[in-house]
Amino acid sequence: MSRRKKIYEGKAKILYEGPEPGTIVQYFKDDATAFNAQKKDVIEGKGVLNNRLCEYFMLGLQGVGVPTHFIRRLNMREQLVRSCEIIPLEVIVRNYAAGSMAKRLGMEEGTQLPRPIVEYCLKDDKLGDPLVTEEHIAAFGWASQQDMDDILSLALRVNDFMAGVMYAVGIRLIDFKIEIGRIYDGEYPRLVVADEISPDSCRLWDIETGRKLDKDVFRRDLGSLTDAYSEVARRLGLIPKPSATITKPTLIN
């Protein structure tokens, strides 16, 4: 790892130069942050679980024809991805009211929305990732109208896929955040799902009990984050079902 050139270190991941031009290695750290890094902790095993879960979601998306930056998982904590220009927006899709939208609009968390609602936040930690409208995005040139059409279509396709995958294992997809990258294939740029998709960037509630299986467990001090993420991985068949002999979750390759 130390041989490689570090390109960027974020709150949950480190990016290194990849082995070939146009590639990047994403290393998943165990660090958890919330409220713009005002709350911080190290959660042993989180990076390993997110790396594996992210691989599962990205491969699934590619399987249904949604382009992503993902190339392959390299090891327990790293994945190889295509290098791309990140559009400076956090794209949020909501199916049920929760989090900042529930607070902003005075809605009860868990209220089903009449249709999926897509929101955009400017990716700027210093400003606390403020909500912006398409007017701001167009006026300040953060993305073109064509980009916005493509981003909306990608976001809704990711929502359909993720909601279906989760529903199949008894989990409700409340909302999620994705980031979009621009890749140049020859002359033509195209947009792909980039960054990560994991329980750090989604809200996932058990359908039967309402138990939270996402980063809200950390944000709101609701118990063990690795237990919650392991439960998601276990239901998706990525780690074995609990047995008397296994005390620590072991990832299945």
Which residue in the set 175, 197, 226, 228 belongs to the binding site for ligand TMP (CB under 6 A)? Answer: 175
Of 172 and 177, which CB lies nearer to ligand TMP in the complex structure?
Answer: 177
Site for ligand TMP in 101-130 (CB under 6 A): 101, 129
201 binds ligand TMP per the rule CB under 6 A: yes
4 binds ligand ASP per the rule CB under 6 A: no
36 binds ligand ASP per the rule CB under 6 A: yes
Of 18 and 68, which CB lies nearer to ligand TMP in the complex structure?
Answer: 68
Which residue in the set 4, 11, 29, 123 belongs to the binding site for ligand ASP (CB under 6 A)? Answer: 11
The rounded distance, in Å, linking the Cα atoms of 76 and 112 is: 36
Of 36 and 133, which CB lies nearer to ligand ASP in the complex structure?
Answer: 36
Q: Which stretch binds ligand ASP (CB under 6 A): 20-28, 34-42, 73-81, 238-246?
A: 34-42
Q: Which stretch binds ligand ASP (CB under 6 A): 32-40, 66-74, 151-159, 182-190?
A: 32-40
User: Which residue ranges make up the site for ligand TMP (CB under 6 A)?
Assistant: 92, 98-101, 129, 175-177, 201-203
User: Which residue ranges make up the site for ligand ASP (CB under 6 A)?
Assistant: 11, 33-37, 215, 219
